[in-house]
Chain A
Amino acid sequence: MDQKSRAILLLGSNLEPRLSFLRNAESMMEQMAGRIIGTSSVYETESWGFYAGDPFLNRVIIVETSLSPLAMLRVIHHIEDTLGRKRNIQGYESRTIDIDILFFDNLHVVNNQLIIPHPKIPVRKFVLVPLCEILPDMLHPVLNIKISELELSCPDTAAVEIFKSANTPV
């Protein structure tokens, strides 16, 4: 058997049923990309500022996969397209599930489709808080700083809290 990679992903949804979108995305991920070997709690982030909308639910998952980063991106788009569409009068509209690749092993990838590690990691509390829950000692492969240290120095002031009603095993 060939060597598997470890992809660390962030799932997010801010349209009801938010939890169901996260769960169903996880289910599709296991079917299409590989086994989920770790998950953070589900967190709720109040949205704020100009883009204020409904609060997001987020969760970090670790997927063991034999896919390449680009193949993983295609799987992600497929899942977003499949689950992330709600009907309105005109047809399909907003996305209800977002999936970002945060890390992929220790790879550095920069091209027009993909940047790994995800460039927003150090400045987003809703990424760092769940990440820190499960991988506090992981070194960011580009910055060479521990996740727990990044979390402490993150400038983002958004309130990221464990979403209590969600955190039974799915």
Chain B
Amino acid sequence: MFPYRYIVIEGNIGAGKTTLAGLVAARLNARLVLERFEDNSFLPKFYREPDRYAFPLEMSFLSDRYQQMIQEFNSPDLFQTGIVSDYFIDKSLLFARNNLAGAEFGLFSRFFHIIAGIMPAPDILVYLHAEVPRLRSQIMKRGRDFEKDISDEYLTALQKAYLEYLKRINSYPVLVMDTRHIDFLSSSDHIEMVLDLLGKKHQEGFRFVSN
């Protein structure tokens, strides 16, 4: 039996979160809970005037994620079967820290903590670390319109924000995996390795795992 009921696979944009989450869910017969991309009317405005629209954009992402999670987590059988998800609510804080300045971030953060306080925390988080060129080629390959204009600088900043944030988590295990030599879909060994890791008890907090 796996010791973790609520598993989160995280990573930068294009790191392969959804694929790994899908593979793990299929193997553990767990429920897959994926982030849905709602049409966000602030997004095009944000691209034109980032300073003006960053705050409503981040607030609307937070409320979308909150709504989705509440909906998903309300299924009665959910925590019996186990959950594998490709995001955690803290993602909102992490992105906001990157996109908001000073007082706006302070206000956002207060709202965030009100909401996050009532959400279940993951039992374990696996972070897929990939270099920016690899992220870029994945993003190009999947061809989502709204991701085309993401710059390398933005990906680098997010990378930093993720690692800084994850380093401070100490209430559940955070496993950081270097994905340079990993291809989950073409090699079953790689997915076995992840399942192996998820089958073991780990200490709370941040650590790198080798492959």
Contact = CB atoms under 8 A, between A and B. Distances in A.
Contact of A82 (B26, B31, B35, B37): B26
B39 A31 contact: no
B188 A24 contact: no
B143 A30 contact: no
Contacts of B170: none
Nearest to A82: B22
Interface residues of B, number: 25
Contact of B22 (A24, A71, A87): A24
B26 A31 contact: no
Nearest to A96: B26
Contacts of A170: 75
Contacts of B135: none
A106 interface: no
A1 B91 CA distance: 26
Contact of B31 (A23, A32, A35, A81): A23
Question: Interface size for chain A: under 10, 10 to 19, 20 to 34, or 35 or more residues?
Answer: 20 to 34
A83 B26 contact: yes
A21 B86 CA distance: 17
Given A79-B22, A91-B188, A31 B27 contact: no
B102 to A, nearest CB: 32
A73 interface: no
B31 A31 contact: no
A1 B22 CA distance: 29
Nearest to B85: A27
B92 interface: no
B19 A78 contact: yes
A66 interface: yes
A24 B39 contact: no
B18 interface: yes
A85 interface: yes
B26 A28 contact: no
B23 interface: yes
B18 A17 contact: no
Nearest to B186: A81
Contacts of A24: 22, 25-26, 31-32
Contacts of B34: 27-28, 30-31
A51 interface: no
Most buried by A among B26, B36, B142: B26
Contacts of B18: 28, 31-32
B145 A17 contact: no
Contacts of A1: 39
A20 interface: yes
A87 B33 contact: no
B29 A20 contact: yes
Nearest to B23: A82
B188 A27 contact: no
A92 interface: yes
Q: Which 3 A-B pairs have the closest CB atoms?
A: A82-B22, A24-B32, A31-B34
14 contacts: A2-B145, A17-B29, A20-B29, A20-B31, A24-B25, A24-B26, A27-B33, A27-B34, A28-B18, A28-B34, A31-B34, A71-B143, A83-B22, A86-B26
Given A20-B29, A82-B19, 17 more contacts: A1-B39, A20-B31, A23-B31, A24-B26, A27-B34, A28-B22, A28-B34, A31-B18, A31-B34, A35-B36, A79-B22, A82-B23, A82-B26, A83-B23, A85-B23, A91-B188, A170-B75
